[in-house]
């Protein structure tokens, strides 16, 4: 199954895919140069030295019959032309959110809603604290009650796995309510 990992620049997508992948994650990080000054905002993640120029790719087996292929989106707006290709065939998406920069999540959420792709929101825990709780985030981003919002730590394998399990279960529920159970 294919899952897309979206979210703003520096939200933790590359970290998320890297923590859980059983294969060496394919990432296309490039060292940021002065050309990105003023374009890629590093105020909240001053230690960030590289950026994903195309996408992240990883694989994780949740059990022997369920293998997830993870595709991280490039965060920068100038790469949005790739998103339509990335979501093709995906069962759902995780939107990673840095609660210090909630507004960065609007675009990926709009995009997945527009394409009808089920998504869950993962609140990535920077510096061990959440600036906003789940209810506040739901209000601020106008996310429907039915969409799961979970706390996660992109650096922690179990936490990333749990977020992915939430995503798969939610996607299956949505599928069953749209198509009815018993259809294979």
Ligand X SMILES: Nc1nc2c(ncn2[C@@H]2O[C@H](COP(=O)(O)OP(=O)(O)O)[C@@H](O)[C@H]2O)c(=O)[nH]1
Nearer to Mg ion, 19 or 52 (CB): 52
| CA count, 13 A, side-chain hemisphere, 60 | 20
Binding site for ligand X (CB under 6 A): 7, 9-15, 45, 47-48, 52, 75, 124-127, 153-155
Tell me the closest approach of the beta carbon of residue 9 to ligand X, in angstroms. Answer: 5
Q: Which of 3, 5, 14, 70 binds Mg ion (CB under 5 A)?
A: 14
Cβ neighbour number for residue 101 with a 10 Å cutoff: 19
Q: 131: part of which helix (H) or strand (E)?
A: none
Cβ neighbour number for residue 130 with a 10 Å cutoff: 16
126 interacts with, out of ligand X, Mg ion, none, CB within 5 to 8 A per kind: ligand X
Calculate the alpha carbon distances from 116 to 88, 142, 177 in Å: 12, 16, 14
State the angle between helix axes of 157-179 and 13-20 in degrees (0 to 180), rounded to the nearest 10.
100
Alpha-carbon gap, residue 33 to 51, rounded angstroms: 10
11 interacts with, out of ligand X, Mg ion, none, CB within 5 to 8 A per kind: ligand X
Mark residues 32-61: x for contact with Mg ion by CB under 5 A, - for none: --------------------x---------
Tell me the closest approach of the beta carbon of residue 16 to ligand X, in angstroms. Answer: 7
Site for Mg ion contains 15 (CB under 5 A):
no
10 interacts with, out of Mg ion, ligand X, none, CB within 5 to 8 A per kind: ligand X
Phi, psi angles (nearest 5°) of residue 92: 175, -175
Strand partners, 63: 66
Residue 19, classed as helix, strand or coil, is: helix
Tell me the closest approach of the beta carbon of residue 95 to ligand X, in angstroms. Answer: 11
Site for Mg ion contains 124 (CB under 5 A):
no
| CA count, 13 A, side-chain hemisphere, 146 | 9
Nearer to ligand X, 90 or 96 (CB): 96
Site for Mg ion contains 171 (CB under 5 A):
no
Tell me the closest approach of the beta carbon of residue 75 to ligand X, in angstroms. Answer: 5
Binding site for Mg ion (CB under 5 A): 13-14, 52
């Amino acid at each position: 199954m294919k899952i897309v990992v979206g979210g703003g620049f520096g939200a933790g997508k590359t970290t998320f895919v890297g923590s859980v992948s059983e294969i060496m994650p394919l990432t296309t990080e490039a060292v940021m140069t002065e050309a990105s000054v003023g374009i890629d905002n590093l105020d909240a993640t001053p230690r960030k030295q590289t950026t994903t120029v195309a996408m992240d790719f990883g694989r994780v087996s949740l059990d022997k019959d369920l293998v997830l292929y993870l595709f991280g989106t490039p965060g920068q707006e100038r790469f949005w032309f790739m998103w339509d290709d990335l979501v093709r065939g995906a069962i759902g998406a995780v939107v990673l959110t840095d609660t210090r920069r909630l507004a960065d999540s609007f675009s990926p959420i709009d995009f997945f809603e527009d394409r009808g792709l089920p998504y869950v929101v993962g609140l990535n825990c920077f510096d061990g604290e959440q600036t906003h709780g789940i209810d506040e985030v739901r209000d601020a981003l106008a996310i429907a009650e039915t969409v799961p919002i979970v706390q996660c730590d992109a650096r922690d394998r179990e936490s990333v796995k749990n977020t992915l399990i939430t995503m798969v279960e939610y996607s299956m529920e949505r599928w069953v309510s749209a198509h009815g159970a018993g259809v294979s």
